[in-house]
Amino acid sequence: MSQTIALSQLGLGRQATLHSYPPAGAAFLRLREMGLLPGTRLTLVRTAPLGDPLEIEVRGYRLSLRRADADSILVEPVSPS
Partner 1 sequence: MSASAVVSSVGSSSAARAPVYALVGNPNCGKSTLFNALTGLKQKVGNYPGVTVEKKVGTAYSQHGQPMPVIDLPGAYSLAARSPDEAVTRDVLLGRRLDTAAPDRILCIVDASNLERNLYLVHQILDLGRPVILVLNMMDLAAKAGVRIKVERLEKELGIPVIPCEASQGKGLIELKLAMSRPDLPLPRHRWDIPSPIAAAVSELQASLLEYDRKAPLSARAEALLLLTDQDSVRVAGSTPLSARTTDILQSWKVRWEGQGVDWAATLVASRYEAIARLCTGVLDRVAPDDEGPSLSDRIDGVVTHPVWGWLVLGGLMGALFLSIFTLAEYPMTWIDDHVAQLADVVKASMAPGDLRDLITDGAIAGVGGVVIFLPQILILFFFIGLLESTGYMARAAFIMDRLMSRVGLNGKSFIPLLSSYACAIPGIMATRTIEDAKDRLVTILVAPLMSCSARLPVYLLMIAALVPGETIPVGTKVGLMLLMYALGTLAAFGFAWLFKRTLLKGEPPLMIMELPPYRLPRVRDVLLQMVERGGLFLRRAGTIILGISILLWFLSAYPKAPEGATAQAQMAHSFAGQAGHLIEPAIRPLGFDWQIGIGLIASFAAREVFVSTMGVVFNAQSDADDTAPLRQALAAARWPDGAPLFTPLVCLTLMIFYVFAMQCVSTIAVVRRETNSWRWPLFQIAYMTGTAWLVCFAVASIGRLLGY
Interface residues with partner 1 (CB under 8 A) are 21, 25-35, 37-38, 45-46, 48-53, 55, 59-66, 69
Q: In this structure, are residues 77 and 54 in contact, taking their beta carbons and an 8 Å threshold?
A: no
Specify the residue, 2 or 64, whose C-beta has the smaller distance to partner 1.
64
CB closer to partner 1 out of 3 and 37: 37
Partners of 18 in the beta sheet? 75
For the CB of residue 67, give the shortest distance to partner 1 in the complex, in Å.
9
Q: Which CB atom, from 3 or from 26, has the smaller least distance to partner 1?
A: 26
Q: What is the DSSP code string of 11-80?
A: PTT-EEEEEE--TT-GGGHHHHHTT--TT-EEEEEEE-TTS-SEEEEETTEEEEE-HHHHTT-EEEEPPP
